[in-house]
Amino acid sequence: MKLLITGGAGFLGARLARRLLASGVLDGRAIDRLVLADLAAPADDLRSDPRVEVRVGTVLALAKALGEERFDGVFHLASAVSSECEANFELGMQSNLDSTRALLDALRAAGNVPKLVFSSSVAVFGSDPALPLPAVVRDDTLPTPQSSYGVQKFICEQLVADYTRKGFIDGRTARLMTVSVRPGRPNGAASSFLSGIIREPLAGLEAVCPVSPETEVALASPANTVAGLIAVFEAGRDAFGGRTALSLPALTVRVQDMLDALEKVGGSAARARVRFVPDPAIARIVGGWPARFESRRTAALGLTADANFESIVEQYLRESR
Amino acid sequence: MKLLITGGAGFLGARLARRLLASGVLDGRAIDRLVLADLAAPADDLRSDPRVEVRVGTVLALAKALGEERFDGVFHLASAVSSECEANFELGMQSNLDSTRALLDALRAAGNVPKLVFSSSVAVFGSDPALPLPAVVRDDTLPTPQSSYGVQKFICEQLVADYTRKGFIDGRTARLMTVSVRPGRPNGAASSFLSGIIREPLAGLEAVCPVSPETEVALASPANTVAGLIAVFEAGRDAFGGRTALSLPALTVRVQDMLDALEKVGGSAARARVRFVPDPAIARIVGGWPARFESRRTAALGLTADANFESIVEQYLRESR
C-alpha cells in the first residue's frame, strides 16, 4: 500500500514512519511506499529507506500533487503549533485550516476514498469561564476551545467527519494528548516544562517547574501516541464508533508524581536539578487543561494509557541513548 | 447606528428589518441606516424606507465592500439551506463557510470591532448512531452534525467565537429552531410539513403529514425567533455567558398538539384537510432532531419559548391577513 504522512519529518511523524517501516505492514497490507511530506526533509535513516519518498513544502502548496498520487492511507499530522497560531492568526488559519481543507479536497478529487487519520489535539478543550469543563472529559464532552489552534483543530475535526459522511474519504480523528517526554530543547509552549523537568535533569541540566507539585496533568508517551494513531487507522468504521473525534488515552499524574519517577529512574541528583519557580501565567494556562479522561470508545478499541510515569521516563532514557 | 442584515430580503431577515425599523432603536441607539444584503432586493415596503439601503449579490462577492462600510452591528443570516448543501457540497461550503469567513475577515479589516449576531441552526445537532443525542439538549450538549449544512454552521460558530476572543469582532451565535408557521409554499425541506399542516388547511388546501401524531418537535414562531436575535444582539458579553453558541428557546409539541391548535383556531373543517401519509424517510430525519431543550443561558437572558402552539397559529393568521 501507498501511505502519506504529512508532518513526516517532525517528532511524531518521523517516529510513526520508523514504526511503520519496521513493521512493514499496516491494516494487514504491506507498505510499498511511504511518502513523507514536511517543510524540511526527514532524517537520513528515513530518507535512505528505499520505500520512502520525500516531498518538501507546505501542505497547502503540495496538496494538489499529493492528491494525484492516490494514496491508500494518510496520516495528516502537519500543523502549525499553538503558540505560532496565537501569535500569527493568518498563519494558523492557513497552516491548519486551509491546508487541511486543500488536502481533503485533493484526496476527494483522487476518487479512491483513502483512509485518513487526522491528528487533532486535547487543545480543543478549553475552560470557557461561563461553561467550565467537567472534572472528567468523556466521549460526549463539548469542546469550547480557548485558542486559535484549538478552534482550527476542532474545525478540521468537523471537516474530516463530513468528508467521511459524504464518502469522499474514510477519515477519523484522534485527539493527541500532551506528549512527554519529548526529546530536544525547551520551546515557547506552555507545556514545554512537562518534558523539560525530566529531559534536562537527566542530561545534567537545571530545569524550572512553573506550576505547583499538586498540579494534575494528562500525558501520553511518544510510543503510546504513535500506537494510538496506528490503532485508529486500523479500526473498522464500526469499531471506531461513529465519526466524532476520539481522544487518545491519557495518564493522569501530578507533577509531584513525575518528579518522584524522575528520582526513581534518574536518582536524587537528577531530582535535585528541578527548582520550583511559580509562573502564574503558565499555571493558569495549564490549570485550564483537562487532566482526567474517560472514554468508552478508546476502551472499546483496546487503547490504554501508559501504565505509569516511571515507564515513560524509562522509555525516554532507553531511546535517547 | 449603521446596521447590516445579510439575508435581509429573506423571510427572517425582512421580518427582522421591519421590526428594527418600526422600533427605530437597537441596543439603546437610534438606527440611522440599515443595509439589507441578499441575492435579491427586498420587498417594496423595506426599499422605500429612507433608512434602508440595498446591496444585491452573494456575501462572498459583497464581503469586502461591506467591510469598508464600517457597520456598528451585523446580523449575519444569509445562508444556503440544508437541502441545497446536501445536494451540492461545493455550493454549501462556499455559501456558508467561505462567505462567513470572508465577511468576518472584512469586518476585522474595518477595525471597529462591530457587534455581530450569527444565525446558526438546531441542525448542528444530529444523532450519531454511536453517540446518540441526550433526551434533552442543554448548554453543554455536544453537537454531532449529520449534514453538511449542520457542519458548516457549527464551523462558523467556532470562527465567530475565535474572531471574538481575538477582539476582531464582538460576535455571538444564536442557534435558530425550526420556525413555524412559515408563510409561502411547501419546499423540499424535511421540516416543510411543520408549517404546511397549518398553513395549507387555513388557506382551504389539503395537506399531508408524513410523521405520526405522537412525533415531538421543537418549534419557535417567527416573532419569537426575531425577538431572540435582537435579545442576543443586545446582551452584554457577561450576560450572554461566554462565546459558545446559544440555542434559542423552543416550544416542544407533538404533531397532535399542532393539529389540535389548528382545529381550535381554524375549525374542524381546517383540521379535516390534514391527512396522515407516512413517509419513513422524513420520519427518520425528523425523529433524529432534538425535541427538548433546557438552557440556563437563555433563561438568564430572559428568553422564553412561545407559550403554546395555539398562540403561534393565531400569530400566523393575524399576520397573513
Position A145 scores a pLDDT of 95
CA distance A160 to A245: 9
CA distance B59 to B152: 15
Tens digit of each residue's pLDDT (9 = 90 or more) over B83-116: 889 999 999 999 999 999 999 999 999 999 999 9
Query: Do the bridges between strand B251-254 and strand B216-220 make them parallel or antiparallel, or are there none, so unpaired?
Result: antiparallel
Superfamily of domain B2-176 in CATH is NAD(P)-binding Rossmann-like Domain (3.40.50.720)
Question: Taking CB atoms and an 8 Å cutoff, what residues of chain B touch A145?
Answer: 158, 161-162
Name which CATH class applies to A193-218+250-292+302-320. alpha beta
HSE toward the beta carbon, residue B8, CA cutoff 13 A: 30
**In terms of Cα–Cα distance, which of B221, B244, B243, B232 is closest to B303?**
B232
Q: Is B144 on the interface with A (CB under 8 A)?
A: yes
Tens digit of each residue's pLDDT (9 = 90 or more) over B205-236: 999 999 999 999 999 999 999 999 999 999 99
What's CA B176's distance to the chain center, in Å?
4
Question: Taking CB atoms and an 8 Å cutoff, what residues of chain B touch A297?
Answer: 130
Cα–Cα separations (whole angstroms), residue A103 to A156, A193, A261 = 11, 33, 41
Query: Do the bridges between strand B251-254 and strand B25-26 make them parallel or antiparallel, or are there none, so unpaired?
Result: unpaired
Read off the pLDDT of each residue in B38-42 and give the average, rounded to a whole number.
97
Domain with CATH 3.90.25.10 in chain B: 193-218+250-292+301-320
C-alpha cell at B186: 411547501
Position A190 scores a pLDDT of 85
Based on the residue annotation, tell me whether A149 is a catalytic residue of this protein. yes
- ∠ CA B233-B245-B234, nearest 5°, is 10
Q: Is A90 on the interface with B (CB under 8 A)?
A: no
C-alpha cell at A8: 513526516
Read off the pLDDT of each residue in B239-245 and give the average, rounded to a whole number.
93
Name which CATH class applies to B193-218+250-292+301-320. alpha beta
Helix, strand, or coil here: A158?
Answer: helix
Residues of chain A with pLDDT under 70: none
Domain with CATH 3.90.25.10 in chain A: 193-218+250-292+302-320
Position B128 scores a pLDDT of 81
Tens digit of each residue's pLDDT (9 = 90 or more) over B293-317: 999 999 999 999 999 999 999 999 9
- Interface touch A158/B145, C-beta < 8 Å: yes
* Smallest CA–CA distance from A98 into chain B, residue: B98
Position B317 scores a pLDDT of 94
Q: Is A138 on the interface with B (CB under 8 A)?
A: no
- Residues B133, B124: contact at Cβ < 8 Å? no
Query: Do the bridges between strand A170-176 and strand A115-121 make them parallel or antiparallel, or are there none, so unpaired?
Result: parallel
Position B130 scores a pLDDT of 81
- Residues A142, A86: contact at Cβ < 8 Å? no
ipTM attached to this prediction: 0.96
C-alpha cell at A309: 510515569
Domain with CATH 3.40.50.720 in chain A: 2-176
- ∠ CA A11-A16-A18, nearest 5°, is 100
**In terms of Cα–Cα distance, which of A222, A230, A179 is closest to A315?**
A222
Position B208 scores a pLDDT of 96
Position A201 scores a pLDDT of 97
Instruction: Give me the residue from A89, A161, A297 closest to B151, CB to CB.
Output: A161
Q: Is A162 on the interface with B (CB under 8 A)?
A: yes
CA distance A161 to B148: 10
